[in-house]
Structure 1
Amino acid sequence: MPQLPIGFIPEPLSIALDRILPSRKTPQGALYTRKLKQIRSSIDTVGLIEPLTIGKADKATGQHVLLDGHLRLLVLRELNYQDAPCFIATDDETYTYNNRINRLSTVQEHHMIRRAVERGVSKERLALALNMDVSYVLKKLNLLDGLCAEVINILKDQQFSVNLSQVLRKMKPIRQMECVELMVSANNLSVGYAKALLMATPERLLVEPNRAKKMNGITPEQIAKMEREMSNLLGQYKLVEQNYGEDVLNLVLAKGYLSKLLENEHVVRYLHTHHPGVLVEFENIVQTVSLDK
């Protein structure tokens, strides 16, 4: 079997910056974004980590078109770099692997920071490279302390505030699981939601039950009511979770059946004459693209 050609020269080459032409205009306001400040701080502290990606040199001018790394190029020129390591694409296309990479999850970022510290990089240098306060680096470093393995597994692909773990670790593992499952199912990993769930947590499920739960403007009676309502909500969630797979399968089958049914002109004509409301609902079901709607 013949070997497939690779899309990039595997080893980066040092290319003069004046031979690299951006393929798009820098967005207005990009110079003042947090992302660019992080890139500037990182390059200024530890140098360029990820090479630029460029196209093959134009035969007439010797210029390369930049495919990926416009902000990095901007910072390199600002810092008076003369050249930079570059991956050279062998295909004449603007696709790069970065176009299909998801953003780093919060847990993955934690592991990277911890690995850097274990290899001897100081917290101060990390803070400088990431353009953030040392205290924030410490929060990222201790992100998973006090969280059970099941919760970490659920959150491993999610993005959330480092302050979320501070709220969760006040609960016992079983309660952590319940709250995180609810938050993920509701697509709401905000710290405010976590604090509300904490307030609705019975004291027996808290790590330090003797410490009174306090929140401005909420009375003990309201907290007790929140606990009862949260208990009911968890029961309903578990019930829905048990039947979800079967319900989705039934909906898929029903949608397929209705699609076939509405392909029959006689059936459509009959429904249009005698049951127009039913026909509209059938058509809405068939036209539904996702069952999440």
Structure 2
Amino acid sequence: MTKKVQLGFESDCVTIPVADILPVRVLRKSIQSSRKYTQITASIREIGLVEPPVVARNGDSSGSWLLLDGHVRIEVLKDLGQEQVECLVSTDDEAFTYNKRISRIAPIQEHRMILKAIERGVSEEKIAAALDLNPRSIQRKVKLLDGICPEAVAIMKDKACTTAVFTTLRKMIPLRQIEAAELMVNANNYSVAYISAILAGTPQAQLLEANKPKRINGVTPQAVARMEKELARLQEGITQIQDTYGQDHLKLTVLRGYVGKLLGNARVVRYLMQTCPEFLSEFQTIAELESVVPAEVE
């Protein structure tokens, strides 16, 4: 017997008076001065509403609608004096699903979106106005990957890092760019300070301008030499760990399952409680782990 799939939204959008939409949460007072609010305002003013708010039909007979997602957008529309808005109608009035996991756009993804818009005839000035950015910022985003090798781009394609990271990568030869990108991913650290430390630890021969000595504010040549040695040892250690990582992870997962099965036996738990209570506490901690990989590494 085939189960009928219940749709999460009605098939058609509806146009609703803004005054009839009831928010399900209160926005903080400072929201209007935030960067997010300014960008949404600029985007709506330039190109209109891209993502419709999500509403649900109110159970009473007042003709009002419950706003599930899009509170900032609705506030912007009110400020702009817009009286009606096209909305997506949810078949459920549960508001906790929306934006539970917000995916921030990565710089490389943004770069590709801007290039695609320019290819379709949108001017840089129009894009800058829609994003509430300086036109020079758009030009920098367009040239973001100039001098970056494709392999490093593939590694960093969905990573949340700043433009300055690519500026620093550009100072290295392609092979070193790949190594630096892998170091950042392995450390889950995409800060300017970390990529600067990688640059400081990069041998002179692996720099794009090999004949030009590195100059790092506040760091002596002797300290740079030590950093190069330490970074080389760190890379060697990471390589060794990667060789056995998969096998070690499998073993830890099996052991966690075995410990959990042991603790499911009342006799074992009673014995440990009487003889080794400290072991029991540690075993319980292991069994309750959702993953054998630390959260910051995942």
Shared fold (TM-score, shorter chain, > 0.5)? yes
- Report the CA distance shift for 1:262/1:47 in structure 2 as closer, same or farther (over 3 A): closer
More displaced 10-residue stretch of structure 1: 204-213 or 83-92: 83-92
Q: For residues 94 and 278 of structure 1, what CA distance do their matches in structure 2 show?
A: 43
What corresponds to 1:197 in structure 2?
A: 198
Q: For residues 155 and 123 of structure 1, what CA distance do their matches in structure 2 show?
A: 24
Which amino acid in structure 1 is aligned with residue 47 of structure 2? Answer: V
TM-score by length of 2: 0.88
Matches within 5 A, 1:197-276: 197-264=198-265
Q: For residues 97 and 208 of structure 1, what CA distance do their matches in structure 2 show?
A: 49
TM-score by length of 1: 0.89
Q: For residues 191 and 39 of structure 2, what CA distance do their matches in structure 1 show?
A: 24
Structure 1 residues without counterparts, runs of 5 or longer: none
How far the C-alpha of 1:268 sits from its partner, in A, is 5.2
Which amino acid in structure 2 is aligned with residue 39 of structure 1? Answer: I
2:55 touches 2:88 (CA, 8 Å); kept in 1?
Answer: yes
Which amino acid in structure 1 is aligned with residue 293 of structure 2? Answer: D
1:22 touches 1:70 (CA, 8 Å); kept in 2?
Answer: yes
More displaced 10-residue stretch of structure 1: 49-58 or 272-281: 272-281
2:68 touches 2:93 (CA, 8 Å); kept in 1?
Answer: no
Structure 2 residues without counterparts, runs of 5 or longer: none
How far the C-alpha of 1:118 sits from its partner, in A, is 1.4
What corresponds to 1:166 in structure 2?
A: 167
What corresponds to 1:89 in structure 2?
A: 90
Give the secondary-structure state (helix, strand or coil) at the position aligned to 1:86. Answer: strand
What corresponds to 2:177 in structure 1?
A: 176
Deviations 1:163-187 (CA, angstroms, capped at 9, x unpaired): 1111112112221121121212212
Q: For residues 282 and 101 of structure 1, what CA distance do their matches in structure 2 show?
A: 35
2:54 touches 2:68 (CA, 8 Å); kept in 1?
Answer: yes
How far the C-alpha of 1:41 sits from its partner, in A, is 1.1
1:67 touches 1:96 (CA, 8 Å); kept in 2?
Answer: no
Q: For residues 232 and 219 of structure 1, what CA distance do their matches in structure 2 show?
A: 20
- Report the CA distance shift for 1:65/1:288 in structure 2 as closer, same or farther (over 3 A): closer
Which amino acid in structure 1 is aligned with residue 128 of structure 2? Answer: A
Q: For residues 60 and 274 of structure 1, what CA distance do their matches in structure 2 show?
A: 66
Q: For residues 167 and 77 of structure 1, what CA distance do their matches in structure 2 show?
A: 43
- Report the CA distance shift for 1:248/1:211 in structure 2 as closer, same or farther (over 3 A): same
1:52 touches 1:72 (CA, 8 Å); kept in 2?
Answer: yes
Give the secondary-structure state (helix, strand or coil) at the position aligned to 1:55. Answer: strand
Which amino acid in structure 1 is aligned with residue 33 of structure 2? Answer: Y
The percentage of counterpart residues that share the same residue type is 41
Matches within 5 A, 1:1-293: 4-56=5-57, 60-94=61-95, 98-100=99-101, 102-264=103-265, 278-293=279-294
More displaced 10-residue stretch of structure 1: 98-107 or 213-222: 98-107
Which amino acid in structure 2 is aligned with residue 117 of structure 1? Answer: I
Deviations 1:141-196 (CA, angstroms, capped at 9, x unpaired): 22222222222222222211121111112112221121121212212100111011
